[in-house]
């Protein structure tokens, strides 16, 4: 039986990469769809559905473009910032909104839930705030 040998590769020019693979789904249009979805506060899965890509496609893109991960996280905060802005603007004219905000932000001082305290005399007392 004759021994087969591999043909030697020519030294010199590097082998060119073939462009025969599947075209990428991460087109500028797809990236813009992801940006839109993340700016609405969508999860990764929701954004992928909107952009019509798989989660793995997004994660592969993030590996190749690590700066996109930071941008994505910042975009996801957009609705929170808009809500805060709306809340602060409405508190200027609406006392109920201001009260609601204080009840949630400063619960100890403005909360409506009963407080359980331990006065100096050692007895436990339930304090109910009246509105």
- Using CA atoms, how far apart are residues 59 and 48, in angstroms rounded to an integer? 10
- Going from the C-alpha of 130 to that of each of 67, 69, 81, 110, the distances in angstroms are 52, 48, 33, 11
pLDDT, tens only, 17-75: 666 677 788 899 999 999 999 999 999 999 999 999 999 999 999 999 999 999 999 99
Residue 104 φ/ψ region, left for φ over 0, alpha for ψ in the -120 to 50 degree band, beta for the rest: alpha
Q: What is the mean pLDDT of residues 103-114?
A: 79
For residue 77, the number of C-alpha atoms closer than 13 Å in the C-beta half-sphere is 5
What's the confidence (pLDDT) of residue 11?
64
């Amino acid at each position: 039986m004759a021994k087969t040998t591999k043909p030697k590769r020519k030294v010199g020019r590097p082998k060119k990469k073939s462009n025969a693979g599947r075209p990428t789904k991460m087109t500028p249009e797809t990236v813009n769809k992801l940006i839109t979805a993340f700016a609405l506060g969508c999860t990764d899965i929701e954004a992928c559905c909107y952009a019509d890509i798989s989660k793995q496609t997004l994660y592969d893109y993030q590996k190749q473009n690590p700066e996109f991960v930071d941008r994505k996280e910042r975009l996801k905060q957009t609705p929170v910032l808009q809500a805060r802005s709306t809340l602060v603007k409405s508190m200027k004219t609406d006392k109920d909104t201001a009260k609601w905000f204080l009840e949630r932000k400063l619960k100890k001082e403005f909360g409506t839930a009963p407080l359980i305290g331990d006065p100096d005399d050692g007895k436990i007392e339930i304090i109910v705030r009246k509105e």
